[in-house]
Structure 1
Amino acid sequence: MSSNEERICEDIVRWSRSLFERGFTVGSSGNISVRLDDGFLSTPTNSCLGFLEPERLSRLDAEGRHIGGDAPTKELPLHMAFYAARPTARAVVHLHSTCATALSCLADVDPDDAIAPVTPYVVMRVGRVPVLNYTRPGSADIVPLIRERASRCSAVLLGNHGPVVAGTSLEGAVFAAEELEETAKLILLTRGMAVRTLDAVAVADLENSFRLR
């Protein structure tokens, strides 16, 4: 293992622990992957993000085949679908964070964008967040649904399941996942109120100034 790969493993462990300790994921839920120059690293199946060990992270080749470490997360299909659709993606974070998952269960959210532009930061860091139809966790049925959307969106909500966010770095993907959760919380807190969202001009200005890659 190269020194760069060792550093990435340590980063995965550090950010995973941070998410777990702050309640963005619980138990053995959630998974993270990072694209390497010659393959991928991912959190192992049935692992707790708060107690990962760098040497046990799953190592995958460029085709997503398991070549080292513990067996990878069963959610690998959704990670690989994001990487295929977004060549600039270097990391994918999938959580079961409470408020974003709650939005994924509501029947009256906009399936094309469940996250209204209530703050500039959700536009800057996350963008549009469509809701995908429910598929069984780990099923390859999710792949065409993600590929259809991920070339235009860096984040999705899996129906009745939770958020998936891609980023050009691990840190960026984590920050975007956190922003998505906090915005979902704001949306739920203000449900039924007369909310003032950013208008189309403001959203366009933010999108042009802070283009997501």
Structure 2
Amino acid sequence: MSDSKLREDLCFWAASLFDRGLTGGASGNISVRTPDGGLFVTPTGVSLGRLDPAALSRFDAQGNHIDGPAPTKEMPLHSAFYETRTNAGAVVHLHSTHSVALSMLPETDPEDAIPPLTAYAVMRVGKVALLPFFVPGDPAMADALRGLGGRRSAVLLANHGPVVASKDLEAAVFAMEELEETAKLALLLRGTGARPLRGDQIAQVVDKFKLDWD
């Protein structure tokens, strides 16, 4: 895919997420791999609904900022995902309401923060780790992600929001949407006795679609 197409796609998906209320104001950030191994990254302080394809931050394959405005302050977090998930082609971080709410509940499992309510939550998101609170932009957040050893393609940042890495931009956006919808379901179903997928049902999905699940 050409650089110009990647720029346009990043802005298209960013605007789609913003227009549907999945992140507000100037919150959220996205990065995507370029054909030469570098990255296009959303700039700091710019709304995902108002990105300019010609005004994205660009990094080379060595992680150097080589063009465009200053990148998101969460660049260390993005870099940690690319380091530990070597097949990742894009990373999406939002402040979506239901995921943030779930990250604050004391009963949320740090090892499995998004319950396996549907097959698509298993297929597109997998197990989600809950990381503790960090001040936005703190490099310690990236260190915490590295501590997972690449075992998770999605995390929840406590009192902050979800981050998802996937093979390409479209897949990362779809996974983020699935994560947020599953968080919404989890909140709606609290206290109702609703049943998540059983272990054997999860195993069927994992086996059919050749997924990693531990």
Select which of 8, 11, 14 maps to 1:13. 11
1:68-107 equivalences in 2 (<5 Å): 68-107=67-106
CA distance in 2, matches of 1:8, 1:177: 19
Relative distance call for 1:31 and 1:212 in structure 2 (3 A) is: farther
Q: How does 1:156-195 map to 2 (within 5 A)?
A: 156-195=155-194
Any stretches of 5+ residues in structure 2 without a counterpart? none
Name the % identity. Answer: 55
Provide the rounded CA distance (Å) in 2 between the counterparts of 1:70 and 1:125. 32
CA contact (8 A) 1:125 1:176 kept: yes
Quick one: which amino acid aligns to residue 65 of structure 2? H
Q: Give me the whole-angstrom Cα distance separating, in 2, the residues matched to 1:154 and 1:178.
A: 14
**1:44/1:72 contact within 8 Å kept:** yes
| Partner deviation per Cα, 1:77-99 (whole Å, 9 max, x = no partner) | 00000000000000000000000
* TM-fit CA distance, 1:44: 0.2
Q: Residue 128 of structure 2 aligns with which residue? A: 129
Q: Secondary structure at the match of 2:139?
A: coil
* 2-structure distance, mates of 1:209, 1:163: 27
Aligned length: 211
**Pair 1:150–1:101, CA change in 2 (3 A):** farther
The answer to whether the aligner puts 1:31 opposite 2:25 as a matched pair is: no
Q: For 1:122-170, what per-residue CA distance to the aligned partner results, in whole angstroms no more than 9, with x for missing partners?
A: 0000000110011111110011211122611110001111000001010
Please show how residues 44-63 of structure 1 align to structure 2 within 5 Å: 44-63=43-62
Q: How does the TM-score come out when normalised to structure 1?
A: 0.96
Question: C-alpha root-mean-square deviation of aligned residues, in Å?
Answer: 1.2
The AA in structure 1 aligned to 2:9 is D
Superposition TM-score, scaled by structure 2 size: 0.95
Distance 1:86 1:16 in 2: 22
Secondary structure (helix, strand or coil) at the match of 1:77 reads: helix
| Alignment deviations for residues 96-118 of structure 1 (CA, whole Å, 9 cap, x no partner) | 00000111111221110111111
| Superposed CA offset, 1:25-70 (max 9, x none) | 1000000000123311100001100000001000011232211011
Which amino acid in 2 is paired with 1:134?
A: F
**Structure 1 residues 31 and 211 mapped into 2: Cα distance closer, same or farther (>3 Å)?**
farther
Q: Distance in 2 between matches of 1:154 and 1:51?
A: 27
Q: In structure 2, what is the Cα distance between the partners aligned to 1:142 and 1:207?
A: 29
Does structure 2 retain, via aligned residues, the 8 Å contact 1:32–1:42?
Answer: yes
Could you tell me which residue of structure 1 aligns to residue 207 of structure 2? 208
